[in-house]
Chains A and B, each alone.
Chain A
Amino acid sequence: MRTPTDDFSIHDLSVYVPPRRVSVERLAAEIVQHGGVFSGEEIRRFKTDYRFSHVPVERERSLPEMLREACHPLVERLRRQSLPIDRILMVRTSELSWHDENMLREVLHTYGLQERPFHAIGQHNCASVHLALRMARNLFRTDPYTSGILLVSADKAIHPFFRRLPDSLLGDCASACYLIRGRKLHRTLLIENVVDPTFYDGISGKAEDWKWFQTTYFFALRQIIMTTLRKASLAFDDVRLLIGSNVNYRTWQVLAEMLRLRPDKFYTETIAEAGHLYCSDILYNLQAAVADGRLRKGDLYLTVSVGIGSYGCALHQF
């Protein structure tokens, strides 16, 4: 296997998922109550074809408080190990929020990180997480004084309308991950990003743009996965698992069929109870896959994310 980049590793991570879960039916009722549309047939499709059952909903904590819940245990562990946080990457999926001023203010003050360089990444929707990995790699490559990066992500729907995408259901979540320079145990070997600029409007795009995104979606995902493997001179058999975002079950089922893979090659176990956790899916699923024993030491695996017109894929070794 060729390893074009092995500049950083995932040292530790922490995910905060609100304990409260709301069912698809309840969510549909809330959307309808607010004047939206969520038909019985759509409920069936979301439950049967897409395999959504519940999504986590945060009713008490604000977005900064959710971030604190995700960051606190991780940063405490880093302090005990005397590991530095030299930079902070903040990933956001949603473009709408009422408490955007400085979501990390409390975390930064609590841990004396106010002076750390801070980079905000968004506009690539749910694929922003892979763009953040690329940015981290580039920062490690270009700045020899950066040895540790805190990557954080948090999103919360401010209205029931924003929980629903045409083919997905969003749950609230915050996550934090510590990336460390060099070749450690859990390495990120290769990162691939593809952006189709015709979808520059993202979720606000025209109906015909959405239609085209939906038409090209499977093919674009297939291509980025194949390209990542080809660049690493790997075959699917070399990879233990594909950990995708929880966009919906059907996406990974169709791709598995087209790629002639067993459906369980894709990790889809958390879709039913967690829904699509914006940019935190990947970390949440990574944690779950390890806990399930689906990933073992030394395994190669891919992470895959898709935004509106933006796609990300990375090769890692656990």
Chain B
Amino acid sequence: MKRNRQEVFMEILTVFNENNVNTDALSFDVRLDAPDFPIDSVLFMKLLVDLENRFQIELNYPEALGAEKPTLGSLTDYIEGCLARKTQ
């Protein structure tokens, strides 16, 4: 099923919530590389693995996170792109 950007973003937030991450202040513009999004490396890995399982995709590390200033928006776009390729 094709999902738009907002739907993907909301699903990402659901995964974050399931991992007890406070998502109240999270938006597309929040940078994943602190200080906006302070998170430890173990939880970070768990979040991304859970996203892989939720969306049934494989996150390519440099493509998903290698942007100079990775944001929740760029991660959302990357996942949306993966999902679009899956449905083609």
Please give the residue numbers on chain A whose beta carbons come within 8 Å of chain B beta carbons, in ascending order.
194-198, 208, 211-212, 214-220, 222-224, 226, 254, 258
Least CB distance from A234 to B in Å reads 16
Nearest-neighbor residue (CB-CB) of A212 within chain B: B33
A223/B61 in contact, CB under 8 A: yes
Q: Does B44 contact A (CB under 8 A)?
A: yes
Bound state CA distance, A217 and B65, in angstroms?
11
Q: Nearest chain-A residue to B49 (Cβ)?
A: A258
| Closest 8 pairs (CB-CB, A-B) | A212-B33, A218-B45, A219-B45, A223-B61, A220-B61, A218-B41, A219-B48, A215-B44
CA distance A197 to B68 in the complex (A): 9
**Tally of A-B residue pairs with Cβ under 8 A?**
56
Which A-chain residue is minimally distant from B59 (CB atoms)? Answer: A223
Tally of chain B residues near chain A (CB < 8 A): 21
Are the C-beta atoms of A211 and B62 separated by less than 8 Å?
no
Please tell me if B1 contacts chain A, counting CB pairs below 8 Å.
Answer: no
A-binding residues in B (CB < 8 A):
32-34, 39-42, 44-46, 48-49, 58-62, 65-68
Q: Is the CB of A215 within 8 A of B39?
A: yes
Starting from the known contacts A215-B41, A219-B61, 9 additional A-B residue pairs (CB-CB under 8 Å) come to A197-B66, A198-B66, A211-B33, A211-B34, A212-B33, A215-B32, A219-B41, A223-B61, A258-B46
Bound complex: CA of A214 vs CA of B42, how far in Å? Answer: 10
Q: Is the CB of A198 within 8 A of B48?
A: no
Q: Nearest Cβ distance between residue B32 and chain A, in whole angstroms?
A: 8
- B-side contacts of A198, CB under 8 Å: 66-68
Residue of B nearest to A226 (CB): B58
A52 CB, min distance to chain B CBs, angstroms: 19
Q: Is the CB of A218 within 8 A of B42?
A: yes
